[in-house]
């Protein structure tokens, strides 16, 4: 079979670090934290009172009032990011074969905020069912992909993937494989999440998964630091345009990078904790490197899952050392969650955008908030603590792992027209 090459031709994002890709990138390379006190609701009685919220967001800037009331914030974020990515790709919509354009938008939870609001209103009443007629379309996880397809008339494969924090990693892998096999020419693919609400914060508090460092939000997310105490919940959307290489060349598209390979595995260990030796992460990275047709020592950069959880960070760095051996110490690792927080189902997409731009711009964003070495972590590894570094990146990996033991790794390479 003649497998197709797959390239990235468009990027879009709305995140706690900015409402465009440019704003996101500038914040990342300058080590800006998106964490602050929660404004979405009164969190004064919660153990965690901080989050990475999108700043200055007004739906009226993107949707008319009637439309915005019909769609949950997670769908709004997905549509905004998709609009940006499609504009960035600069398609001629009159000549684009829309039968061969697919849309996959992942989410971990879907319309969580709308679900919570409707249930609260029902509980306040006398038991008479008075539900919004858009309740179900607002909350289902596939609806963001549906809205984007309808808006642009894209008639290719259209669905959602859900695997907790690996959700958009699986979406991108699916799109990559569809194009590689020649089944589609273009995919609008990524993820969106809007889980900063009382149930989201309360639920993660009950699991002891998120930081309670309320007195210092901007340093709360501390990947690979001895005093890390959980992730900081974020929100937003990230969308990329994947395109078959010949299709992109024919229309003169701007090409960011090439997708070189992928790995998708399961820990088969525990519903929330990774395998202590990072076996699933190890195998996902190994498969991605093998499919890319490179050697482990060719990898220059890894954007780690790096959540700032006590167990997860240890397992991931073990996997890196076990796979890469001595070369592990020459790789620039980073954890951009230290800045934008954990975007759950959209995390993999936003972090892949960061990795794409690291290759494109030869700059690796830092891991911020490192204060104390953890004796259980190999501190000879280069976690790119503190400041961004200039480095040519020819091959990079982006890791995402989710509750349930789901692991994805996507391998990228610098684009060369040959």
Annotated active-site positions, please? Answer: 165, 305, 342
Three-class SS state of 89? helix
Q: Going by DSSP bridges, is the β-strand pair 186-193/236-244 parallel, antiparallel, or unpaired?
A: antiparallel
Handedness of CA 38, 306, 343, 31 (dihedral sign): positive
Extract the tokens encoding 342.
């954990």
The rounded distance, in Å, linking the Cα atoms of 158 and 155 is 8
Extract the tokens encoding 323.
């796979």
* Contacts of 313 by beta carbon, 8 Å cutoff, 6+ apart: 223, 224, 228, 306, 307, 374, 377
The rounded distance, in Å, linking the Cα atoms of 411 and 366 is 20
Containing H/E element for 160?
Answer: none
Query: Do the Cβ atoms of 22 and 28 come closer than 8 Å?
Result: no
Q: Which of 264, 236, 261 is nearest to 350 (CA)?
A: 236
Residue owning tokens 């190999």: 378
Give buried/exposed letters for 62-75 (b at 16+ CB in 10 A, else e). Answer: bbeeeebeebbbbb
Strand partners, 104: 159, 189
The rounded distance, in Å, linking the Cα atoms of 44 and 40 is 12
Residue owning tokens 């273009």: 186
Burial of 367: CB neighbours in 10 Å, binned 0-12, 13-18, 19+: buried
């Amino acid at each position: 079979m003649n497998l197709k090459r797959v390239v990235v031709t468009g990027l879009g994002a709305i995140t706690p670090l900015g409402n465009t890709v440019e704003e996101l990138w500038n914040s990342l390379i300058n080590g800006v934290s998106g964490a602050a006190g929660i404004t979405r609701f009164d969190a004064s009685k919660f153990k965690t009172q901080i989050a990475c919220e999108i700043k200055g967001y007004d739906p009226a800037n993107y949707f008319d009032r009637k439309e915005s009331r019909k769609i949950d914030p997670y769908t709004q974020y997905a549509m905004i990011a998709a609009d940006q990515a499609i504009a960035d790709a600069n398609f001629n919509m009159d000549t684009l074969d829309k039968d061969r354009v697919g849309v996959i938008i992942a989410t971990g939870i879907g319309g969580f905020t709308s679900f919570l609001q409707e249930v609260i209103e029902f509980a306040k009443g006398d038991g008479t069912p008075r539900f919004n007629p858009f309740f179900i379309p607002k909350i289902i996880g596939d609806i963001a992909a549906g809205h984007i397809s309808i808006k642009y008339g894209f008639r290719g494969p259209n669905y959602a993937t859900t695997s907790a924090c690996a959700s958009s990693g699986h979406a991108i892998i699916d799109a990559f494989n569809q194009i590689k096999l020649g089944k589609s020419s273009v995919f609008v693919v990524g993820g969106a999440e809007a889980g900063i609400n009382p149930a989201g914060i309360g639920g993660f508090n009950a699991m002891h998964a998120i930081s309670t460092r309320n007195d210092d939000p901007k340093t709360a997310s501390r990947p690979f630091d001895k005093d890390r105490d959980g992730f900081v919940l974020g929100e937003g959307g990230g969308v990329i345009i994947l395109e078959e290489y010949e299709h992109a060349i024919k229309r003169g598209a701007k090409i960011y990078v090439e997708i070189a390979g992928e790995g998708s595995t399961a820990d088969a260990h525990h519903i929330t904790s990774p395998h202590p030796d990072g076996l699933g992460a190890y195998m996902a990275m190994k498969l991605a490197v093998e499919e890319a047709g490179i050697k482990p020592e060719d990898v220059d950069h890894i954007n780690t899952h790096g959540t700032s959880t006590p167990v997860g960070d240890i397992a991931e760095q073990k996997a890196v050392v076990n796979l890469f051996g001595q070369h592990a110490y020459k790789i620039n690792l980073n954890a951009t969650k230290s800045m934008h927080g954990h975007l759950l189902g959209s995390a993999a997409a936003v972090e892949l955008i960061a990795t794409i731009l690291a290759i494109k711009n030869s700059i690796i964003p830092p891991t911020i908030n490192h204060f104390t070495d953890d004796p259980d972590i190999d501190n000879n590894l280069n976690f790119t603590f503190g400041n961004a570094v200039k480095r040519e990146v020819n091959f990079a990996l982006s890791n995402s792992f989710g509750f349930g033991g789901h692991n994805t790794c996507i391998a990228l390479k610098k684009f060369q027209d040959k």
